[in-house]
Chains A and B, each alone.
Chain A
Amino acid sequence: AQKVTQAQTEISVVEKEDVTLDCVYETRDTTYYLFWYKQPPSGELVFLIRRNSFDEQNEISGRYSWNFQKSTSSFNFTITASQVVDSAVYFCALIEVVTGANNLFFGTGTRLTVIP
């Protein structure tokens, strides 16, 4: 069965600090997708990134970067120069393709608070 672990329940940083959110996953599928979503206080989940299991290239988008390592089953998310607007709950999620499941399987989330 699949599993997504976000061991950091809450993180607080001071504005402009860098912060890394950890995500470790388990799956028996050889083909899968990993996602990060942001849930601000308003409650709506906002898609940030999707990565498939065959693409281990790291990705950078502005202040956001993602490090995917199959060898350690990790898909970590780094925010550089954090801002107060980054305060939210961040979820890592997995979709298994081979088993045919169409639903996202989420971790329990990491609440990030950026202190001005």
Chain B
Amino acid sequence: DTGVSQDPRHKITKRGQNVTFRCDPISEHNRLYWYRQTLGQGPEFLTYFQNEAQLEKSRLLSDRFSAERPKGSFSTLEIQRTEQGDSAMYLCASSSPLAGVNEQFFGPGTRLTVL
């Protein structure tokens, strides 16, 4: 399967714990995005990388959130001191300028439940 993959698919944690999610984009895609989707809502943008550079961050990305893409390939999203309000689906997407303007391909998501 050459699509976007995310790991884990589900994560249950207790409030106050740290969690880390991983996203592997489509191999030739240099752009990578993180979105958050809460129940009954559309995905909301969190952050965007072009290669290893983090170029945009939403105001939704509080200082408890950090994202990295150290070698311009996979990316990690870490949430520190989780809160119940962090419970959501975290979606990763990737795109390539060669594939058409901002046609983003999404992974299956990581569903986070904070107890």
Residue of A nearest to B56 (CB): A102
Q: Are A102 and B102 in contact (CB under 8 A)?
A: yes
In the bound complex, residues from chain B placing their C-beta under 8 Å from that of A107 are 42
A-B interface pairs (CB < 8 A), number: 64
What is the CB-to-nearest-CB distance from A47 to chain B, in angstroms, rounded to a whole number? Answer: 6
Instruction: Say yes or no: A42 contacts B108, CB within 8 Å.
Output: yes
A106 touches B42 (CB 8 A): yes
Q: Please give me the residue from chain A that is nearest to B50 by CB atom.
A: A102
A91 within 8 A of B: yes
Decide if B103 touches A43 in the complex (CB within 8 Å).
Answer: no
Q: 1/0 per residue A97-116: CB within 8 Å of B? A: 10001111111110000000
**Cβ distance B67 to chain A, nearest Cβ, rounded Å:** 13
Nearest-CB residue, chain B, relative to A44: B108
Residues in chain A near residue B102, CB distance under 8 A: 33, 50, 95, 102, 104
Q: A44-B108, A44-B109 are in contact. Are A106 and B43 (CB under 8 A)?
A: yes
Contact of A103 among B48, B101, B103, B107 (CB under 8 A): B48
Q: Mark B42-67, 1 if CB is under 8 A from A, else 0.
A: 11110010000001101000000000
A97 B101 Cβ-Cβ under 8 A: yes
Interface size on B, residues (CB 8 A): 27
For residue A97, which residues in chain B have a CB less than 8 angstroms away from its CB?
Answer: 101
Residue B100 lies at the interface, judged by CB distance under 8 Å to chain A: yes
**Residues of chain B with a CB closer than 8 A to A44's CB:** 106-109
- The 8 A CB mask of A32-52 against B (1 = contact, 0 = none) is 010001000011111100101
Report the minimal beta-carbon distance from A44 to chain B, rounded to whole angstroms. 5
Is A79 in the interface zone, CB < 8 Å from B? Answer: no
- Chain B residues lying within 8 Å of A109, measured Cβ to Cβ, are 40-42
Q: How far is the CA of A102 from the CA of B29 in the complex (A)?
A: 14
Q: Which residues on the B side are within 8 Å of A50 (C-beta)?
A: 100-103
Tell me, yes or no, whether A93 is within 8 Å of chain B by CB: yes
A54 to chain B, nearest CB (A): 12
B104 CB within 8 Å of chain A: yes
What are 23 pairs between A and B in contact, CB < 8 Å? Answer: A37-B106, A42-B108, A43-B89, A43-B108, A43-B109, A44-B106, A44-B107, A45-B43, A46-B106, A47-B103, A47-B106, A91-B43, A95-B102, A102-B31, A103-B35, A103-B58, A104-B45, A104-B102, A104-B104, A106-B42, A107-B42, A108-B42, A109-B40
